[in-house]
Amino acid sequence: MPKQVLQPEGWPRPKGYSNGIAATGATVYTAGVVGWNAKEVFEAKDLAGQFRQVLINTRAILAEAGATPADIVRMTCYVTSRDEYLASLAEIGAAWREVYGKVFPCMALVQVVALVESDAKIEIETTAVVDDAR
């Protein structure tokens, strides 16, 4: 059982994430990743653009361990504005599909007062599990 989505009987299926995942293999953790480029410059000023860049940055970090977006089991997203996040859902969904495809990890979203990088609107921590048999 490399990876199993946990969906209790009778529960509605969540939209865009999983309630739980059981996995075995090598675990990969990222730090809090923000939406700047490799030169630590925020090209996007909006949350959706920064979200897309966070996904790209996270994908690059995971690749260093031989992991792909399909190996992601959990993400914790910190945003500075819940309202901007909700207003940007269409763009965020499009970025997700473009960069990660049909990947639905466990997710949590938390609004915070601020992030350490003053221009950051989102920061995401990610956990992935790479199947040992790969």
pTM summary value = 0.91
pLDDT per residue, tens digit, the chain (134 aa), is 578 889 899 999 888 889 898 898 999 999 999 999 999 999 999 999 999 999 999 999 999 999 999 999 999 999 999 999 999 999 999 999 999 999 999 999 999 999 999 999 999 999 999 987 65
- DSSP state letters, 14-29: PSSS-SEEEE-SEEEE
In whole angstroms, give the CA distance from residue 72 to residue 59.
10
CA 80 to each of CA 16, 84, 113, 120: distance values in angstroms, whole numbers, following the listed order: 21, 8, 6, 8
Helix ranges (DSSP H) in the chain: 47-63, 82-87, 89-99
- CA–CA distance, 122 with 111 (Å, rounded to integer): 9
- Look up residue 123 and give its two tokens: 């920061």
- Domains of the chain: residue spans and CATH: 3-130 (3.30.1330.40)
In angstroms, the CA 7 to CA 12 distance is 9
